[in-house]
Structure 1
Amino acid sequence: MTQPVSPPRDDTPKVSPVEGPSQWRTLAARADVRTLSLLGVLAALILIGGITKPDEFLDTRNLQLVLTQASVIGVVTVGMTFVITSGGIDLSVGAIVALASVWATTVATQEYGFAGILFTAVIVGVGCGLVNGLLIAYGGMVPFIATLAMFASARGLALQITDGKTQIVTVEGVLDLGGRDAYILGIPPLVMVFALVTVIGWLLLNRTTFGRRSVAVGGNAEAARLAGIDVRRQRLYLYLLSGLCCGVAAFLLIVLSGSGQNTNGNLYELDAIAAAIIGGTLLSGGRGTITGSVLGVLIFTTITNIFALNNLQSDVQQIAKGAIIVAAVLVQRRTASTT
């Protein structure tokens, strides 16, 4: 009796709709629309500033000031974007910037000159990031709690180091870097550093295995672990990166202000998170965009500048920022529900 022949087995791996080319094209199209929308908002703000205060807002020095102010929080936001993309959060970035800035401007540190200040700011930032990463990745602590503890500790230590006083920088090399004579083709050095950090961050997130692993961990940590990714080590690296960005931002702030204060970096954590969210980074993790985060920083910095030039109260400014954040989150939820 002839045995029935079973159909040949198809071992070709199936591609889920989420991973299919059409879905990727859809996501890319949405990203382009989001970027164009942010550029439209930024252009509208520039138009408003040009109409309300044309002489002051469109002045070259004011535009240089806007970009310089955006540079400090922008560097912090690049690190925050990676953390949020991985499904984490870092509430300690502002406090780390404060601690790094005051530690790097003590009399003992300034005796080592430019290199001593830069090295101290960076190493303090990385050290704080290491503590955060170890507590979260290997200590099993929730990111919110671990970074909140770092926030309190770093602020307290910064206050203890300064005793509530402003520490003035006396190193000529650092002060000269913040002067107009250091501008190259009209571009402040701080803006160049911000641009360099942005490019590196974009390449790291979009063109490296590190970036793909960060997105995978944020999308589904268990699936990433089963795929062979060391989730704990990846999270440690991400908080190290965030701490590094805080250290660089602290040095930029020292150059910008010529001093170190325990109040430095106040509310930086909220501004960085807000900029990343309105830029399109998903708060729940799994999606991040450096370009969007940078545009978010520029939007918030421009709003602040316009309000300052028009002598409007800061509370109205905060309300405007809050409205933008709420609108961005609602758009994210709507986009996620249709994906």
Structure 2
Amino acid sequence: MTGLPAQTAPAVKEALGGGPEEQGKGGNGWWSSDAGESTRRNLGLIGVLVGLIVIGIITRPDLYGRDGWWIDNVWAILKLGSTVGVVAVGMTFVIIGGGIDLSVGAIIALAGVWCTTVATQEFGAGGMIFTALLVGLGVGLVNGFLISYGKLVPFIATLAMLVAARGLAAQMSNKQTQQTSNQTINSIAADSFLGVPILVWILGVVVLLGWILLNRTTFGRRTVAIGGNVEAARLAGINVRLHTMMLYALAGLCCGIGAIMLTSIGTSAQAAMATNYELDAIAAVIIGGTLLSGGRGTIVGSLLGVVIFSTITNLFTLNALSTEVQNMVKGGIIVVAVLIQQFRFNSVSQFFKRNRITTAS
């Protein structure tokens, strides 16, 4: 820290993952003190899920009373949210890093259309999966390059990519639905392993890897540092531009995985697939407690956010409520979640300001 202004030293310390005293206490960096708050938030989300289940029991007791219906409905909810859940993992990293990605749905569409072309399907399931992952990764890298080195605002860069990717997908598919003839791909959505749907296995693996990457690696610490204080991260020696590119590449890779999953679910791909997935993913991440301003968030919280929205969709479907009503409810939930975030953030900021004033006096 020698040679740095006194006011920047604490920020650099944060970007490096905390000082020796914090590390020695068994924390994983400067944000380890937020563990209790994250746990309380996640418990609150679980409480919301329990409330939704109670509403389901009250509104449709005939269904909940059937033998075996509970577990079947649980798998149905998880399968319903599996694709959005995978995308939400990538979105969590982007938002924690101080960015936003509005192009995830379009990337899924482009990757899905590209991997279901006649030429690609001739290479079999492996070729289709590789193509989807490569397209997702490539578009994510382009997003990251435009934002990091082109200095475009993430909102503008990814919005432009949303339009461009959907346009390219429509051009490639000639605005037609492309059927998938590969049985291995089609079986991903239909088959189970050890009684658990393969889609749920994929979601579980991606969530686990995302959790490890965020909480147990230098990559995760740097992501939090950049989102919390980008200047401090630079002073700490972090290559912010390169890391930002990697964040969007990761989000694109998750979209590639999501493209395979969604293609399997529909046994086809088209330019209009995954419409509004960006909104669903962002909403789930916000509900899960990730700050839109960056610097804080959890993978588990994002997963719970996805499950909550999937449960709401399932509940509305069981009660024959329209998609329009679902969208209104989702929109209301997002607004409330952002307002709560803003209130909590302002309250914490005021607390620390008062604490500094008291200490100084």
Question: Mean Cα displacement is larger for which, 245-254 or 39-48?
Answer: 39-48
CA distance in 1, matches of 2:108, 2:10: 44
Tell me whether 1:226 sits opposite 2:226 in the alignment. Answer: no
CA distance in 1, matches of 2:271, 2:72: 28
- In the TM superposition, 1:118-157 aligns within 5 A as 118-157=129-168
Which of 291, 296, 310 matches 2:300? 291
Output one character per residue of 1:27-80: Cα deviation in whole Å (capped at 9) or x when no partner. Answer: 222111101000000111122123322454644433222111111000000000
* Displacement of 1:316: 1.6
CA distance in 2, matches of 1:311, 1:29: 39
CA distance change for structure 1 residues 279 and 220 in 2, over 3 Å: closer, same or farther?
same
Q: Which runs of 5+ in 1 are unaligned?
A: 1-13
Asked whether the equivalents of residues 83 and 261 of structure 2 are also in contact (C-alpha less than 8 Å), the reply is yes
Tell me whether 1:301 sits opposite 2:310 in the alignment. Answer: yes
Residue of structure 1 in register with 2:357 after alignment: none
Residue of structure 1 in register with 2:202 after alignment: 193
- In the TM superposition, 1:34-113 aligns within 5 A as 34-56=41-63, 58-113=69-124
- Code of the residue aligned with 1:164 in structure 2: it is K
RMSD over aligned CA atoms reads 2.0
Output one character per residue of 1:111-140: Cα deviation in whole Å (capped at 9) or x when no partner. Answer: 111101101110010010011011111111
TM-score normalised by the chain length of structure 1: 0.91
- Code of the residue aligned with 2:44 in structure 1: it is S
Residue of structure 2 in register with 1:241 after alignment: 250
Tell me whether 1:251 sits opposite 2:260 in the alignment. Answer: yes
Asked whether the equivalents of residues 100 and 155 of structure 2 are also in contact (C-alpha less than 8 Å), the reply is yes
* Displacement of 1:174: 1.4
CA distance in 1, matches of 2:336, 2:58: 25
- Code of the residue aligned with 2:152 in structure 1: it is M
Output one character per residue of 1:91-126: Cα deviation in whole Å (capped at 9) or x when no partner. Answer: 000000001001111111111111011011100100
CA distance in 2, matches of 1:30, 1:144: 29
CA distance in 2, matches of 1:111, 1:25: 49
Asked whether the equivalents of residues 109 and 116 of structure 1 are also in contact (C-alpha less than 8 Å), the reply is yes
CA distance in 2, matches of 1:30, 1:338: 14
CA distance in 2, matches of 1:25, 1:68: 32
Residue of structure 1 in register with 2:36 after alignment: 29
Asked whether the equivalents of residues 218 and 286 of structure 1 are also in contact (C-alpha less than 8 Å), the reply is yes
CA distance change for structure 1 residues 93 and 105 in 2, over 3 Å: closer, same or farther?
same
Q: Which runs of 5+ in 2 are unaligned?
A: 1-8, 349-361
* Displacement of 1:261: 1.2
TM-score normalised by the chain length of structure 2: 0.85
* Displacement of 1:247: 0.2
Output one character per residue of 1:231-284: Cα deviation in whole Å (capped at 9) or x when no partner. Answer: 001101000100000000001111111111111110011111111011000000
* Displacement of 1:25: 6.9
Residue of structure 2 in register with 1:318 after alignment: 327
SS at match of 1:262: coil
- Code of the residue aligned with 2:145 in structure 1: it is L
* Displacement of 1:151: 0.3
CA distance in 2, matches of 1:259, 1:78: 24
Identical residues among aligned pairs (%): 55
CA distance in 2, matches of 1:25, 1:161: 47
Asked whether the equivalents of residues 103 and 120 of structure 1 are also in contact (C-alpha less than 8 Å), the reply is yes
Tell me whether 1:329 sits opposite 2:338 in the alignment. Answer: yes
Asked whether the equivalents of residues 56 and 62 of structure 1 are also in contact (C-alpha less than 8 Å), the reply is no
Residue of structure 1 in register with 2:220 after alignment: 211
